[in-house]
Structure 1
Amino acid sequence: MEILKITDLEKHNKDTVLFSAFQLTISANEIVSVHSSMNVRSALLKILMGELPASSGSIYINEKDINESKRSYLKNISVLFLDDGLYERLTVKDHLSFYQAIFSSNFPIEEVARLVQLEDKSKVRVGKLTFSEQRRLHLSRIFFQNAELIIFEEPDQNVDLETKRVFIKAARELKARGKAILVLTGNMESALAVTDTVYRLDDKGLHPIEIQSEENEEEMQEGEPEEIIIQPARFEKIPTKVNDKIVLFDPPEIDYIESSDGQSHLNIKGESYPCMFTMTELESRLIPYGFFRCHRSYIVNLQKVREVITWTRNSFTLVLNDESKSSIPLSKSKMAELKEMLGLK
């Protein structure tokens, strides 16, 4: 059963494209993560909640459009905001009772307390809880509200390991109860923590992130094939590892690659991902895609370079057009090579 349907949704902020038109559907018993920048995440969440108009496109929840009936539309959404508030003078049990009453829920308080691992904190005032425990109390509201679509905004940001585990377990519990779950985050590890269905949303639209679990890899290797035929093939993806999963990136997504203590790291949209290939191997693979070994420790995507700055006769820097305007060193010997590539004298 299709719970969320997004059609041709697009948002501009003056002359800036936050995200291009995209399509997305989430069904019952499904978890989807959308990885994006903070600005994109904030705009998308406000559009979903009816607080910000989209530049174009439509959103349907249980086939209800917000323009038809905002009350019916919002009744089907439950959001765990990054900055939810709590009454610090109330106890945990007071909060749970309040949530149960306001949503007219039959969900037992004791069971919800157990699900968020706060059963031993029932008489503790919220002001005495740790930040992570307060986030778990926020999470409890989702069970009482019992909406069809659950949206998590950065659910495990700055929380302890126990709370991360509680969130993952709660998401899977909600999925088992037939809920559709959308995770909005700027952290790839958080996106991968609960699902293999991960997308990146940016000014070019919505793009699936290819995931391969090591467990699936092992299962594939268990059987002995009768015959192995090796065919020459050009593999265009660059693999990185996040926890126990292998994430595959298209070369154009990569801003630059940095080597530190013998480990190569791909830098993409402000995040760094460890790569199993050496810098020499990466250079060989990426040259056909417009990458340039600008320094012993750096490989840069020339399509992302905005400026070449000369500090002294022997000191040069490449400035990228990413959000943080990353500065990449350019060695003297490579400067001459770059000039030749660009047709400069």
Structure 2
Amino acid sequence: MTLNMGGVDVTNLVDSLNALKLSSHSCVVANTNQQHDIISYFAHKDAWIEDFSTPFHERLSVKEQLKFYMKWFNHMEDIHRILKQFGLLDAQHIKIKKLDYDQYVLLKVAVAYLQDKDIVVFKNILHNLKVETIDCILNVIPLFNEHHKVLQLLSYIDHALLLSNEVYQVKKEQMKLLEIHAEAPDETLSVTQAINTDATNTMNDLTSGEPNVSLLNENHNNISREINRQLTRNNVFRISVKSEDKTLFINPEDIDYIEGADGKVNIYLNNASFKADYTLSELEEKLKVYGFYRCHRSYIINLQKVTEMITWSKNSYSIKFDGLENTFVPLSRTKVKEMQGFFNNQMVQFTEN
């Protein structure tokens, strides 16, 4: 069966959504069209959908508006507590028409909390907000967990990492769970300490005059198992980057391009950038086998994402990528022929401007 939303086949996306086991708070990073399709899907699930575009009654104050919705949804919490929790205490007597955007968003989130549907879908909740407002939202989102499941539709991975540890990325109409974990004590250090402890125990047994052969063999096996575990893990290559207090493990195939500037290396994917603790030369060597190419002294590109090579003048060239309409990465003049050799005209468009 083929499913269409707005004339577009989204069967794979709908299958992914049907298979999604929502936790209390999940995030999906997607482009605008995909977000529209996901909203259409959840609209049929009778979810509360908030895209922060619909107006309130302008003549009411914030407190009056909340009182109305609390009565409408038969919500029995103290209104003073709601105003305080959602950062609206100082704005409670302000008329809706005089609210700034941050106050409007906080009021929208508060109303979503008061309503009685099981699933709440927020679209780009952190977009264009002040730091203080973002901090308030991060504090109130856990309040939803008791009675609601929250799905965040977002355009940026860094926003998703702030909101949840369960982040999905839509790739070619399928959702892929990103591998993320919160910061913890350095695992390598603990492993090293464990190995050193075993080694110390072994040396103590050897010098005690009466070594325990069984214990020596056990210590040796422990060390061997740990070394093998480390080697096995290192064979699965991911690029680790940090965002706030979390670490994101990036699959090479998800990267659009990598930029080196001012002694720092930034990795770009899905409209977000992350700083990496590698040099460009190190990444160039590691990523060759994944189809990456050093197109410029300051850039490495994912050849699978290239859609167009633009000739601006005799000595000026740029690369464009799938899904990044306004992004142009420079291509060195000396690399042009080699780049052309990677593609045929059926795959990549060569344009003269």
- TM category, shorter: 0.7 to 0.9
Residue 213 (structure 1) aligns with: 182
Higher strand share goes to which structure?
1
Shift of 1:16: 6.6
Q: What per-residue deviation string (whole Å, max 9, x for no partner) do you get for residues 213-241 of structure 1? A: 22x24478558314452537434212222
Letter of the structure 1 residue corresponding to residue 332 of structure 2: S
Residue 213 (structure 2) aligns with: none
Overall identity of the aligned pairs, in %: 26
Structure 2: state its 5+ residue gaps: 196-222, 346-353
User: CA offsets per residue over residues 286-336 of structure 1, 9 Å max, x none?
Assistant: 100111101001111112222333444433332323341632222122224
Contact 1:317–1:330 (CA under 8 A) maintained in structure 2: yes
Contact 1:19 1:40 in 2 (8 A): no
Q: Structure 1 residue 103: deviation in Å?
A: 1.4
Superposed counterparts of 1:167-186, under 5 Å: 167-175=137-145, 177-186=146-155
TM-score, structure 1 as length reference: 0.80
Equivalent residue for 2:30? 36
Return closer, same or farther for 1:190/1:310 CA change in 2, 3 Å cut-off. Answer: closer
Aligned partner (choices 202, 206, 215) of residue 171 of structure 2: 202
Pick closer, same or farther for the CA change 1:125–1:311 going to 2, 3 Å.
Answer: closer
Q: Give me the whole-angstrom Cα distance separating, in 2, the residues matched to 1:269 and 1:255.
A: 8
By how many angstroms is 1:79 displaced? 2.8
- Equivalent residue runs for 1:1-345 within 5 Å: 13-14=6-7, 20=13, 21-22=15-16, 23-27=19-23, 30-50=24-44, 66=45, 74=46, 77-175=47-145, 177-214=146-183, 216-218=184-186, 221=189, 224-226=193-195, 227=223, 229=227, 231=231, 233-324=234-325, 326-339=327-340
Contact 1:35 1:200 in 2 (8 A): yes
Higher gyration radius (CA) = 2
Matched-pair contact (CA < 8 Å) for 1:18–1:202: no
Residues 116-171 of structure 1: per-residue CA shift (max 9 Å, x gap): 12123322212232211121111111232132212221112112222212211211
Q: Which whole-Å CA distance do the structure 2 matches of 1:81 and 1:284 have between them? A: 43
* TM-score (normalised: structure 2): 0.79
Shift of 1:12: 5.6
- Is residue 156–residue 271 contact of structure 2 (8 Å, CA) maintained in 1? no
Which amino acid letter does the alignment assign opposite residue 334 of structure 2? S
The alignment yields a C-alpha RMSD, in angstroms, of 2.7
Kept after mapping to 1: 8 A contact 2:3/2:9: no
What runs of 5+ residues in structure 1 fail to find an aligned partner? 1-7, 51-65, 67-73
C-alpha distance in 1 between matches for 2:262 and 2:79? 51
- Give the direction of change, closer, same or farther, for the CA distance of 1:9–1:219 in structure 2 (3 Å limit): farther
Secondary structure of 2:21's counterpart equals strand
Q: Per-residue displacement from partner, 1:218-272 (whole Å, max 9, x unpaired)?
A: 4785583144525374342122221121111111111111112121112213322
Conservation of the 8 A alpha-carbon contact between 1:238 and 1:249? yes
Provide closer, same or farther for how the CA distance between residues 128 and 315 of structure 1 changes in structure 2, counting only shifts above 3 A: closer
CA distance 1:157–1:173, shift in 2 (3 Å): same
Residue 184 to residue 342, structure 1, CA distance change in 2 (3 Å): closer
The higher relative CO (CA closer than 8 Å, separation ≥ 6) is in 1
What is the rounded CA distance, in whole Å, between the counterparts of 1:145 and 1:204 in structure 2?
A: 31
CA 1:281–1:17: 2 relative to 1, 3 Å: farther
Query: Is the alpha carbon distance of 1:124 and 1:332 closer, same or farther for their aligned partners in structure 2, counting shifts above 3 Å?
Result: closer
**1:12–1:18 contact (8 Å) kept in structure 2:** no
SS in 2 for 1:120: coil
Deviation of the 1:17 alpha carbon: 5.5
The answer (yes or no) to whether the contact 2:2–2:9 under 8 Å persists in 1 is no
CA distance in 1 between counterparts of 2:100 and 2:340 reads 56
Q: Which moved more, 1:189-198 or 1:230-239?
A: 230-239
- Does the Cα contact within 8 Å between 2:156 and 2:270 map onto a contact in 1? no
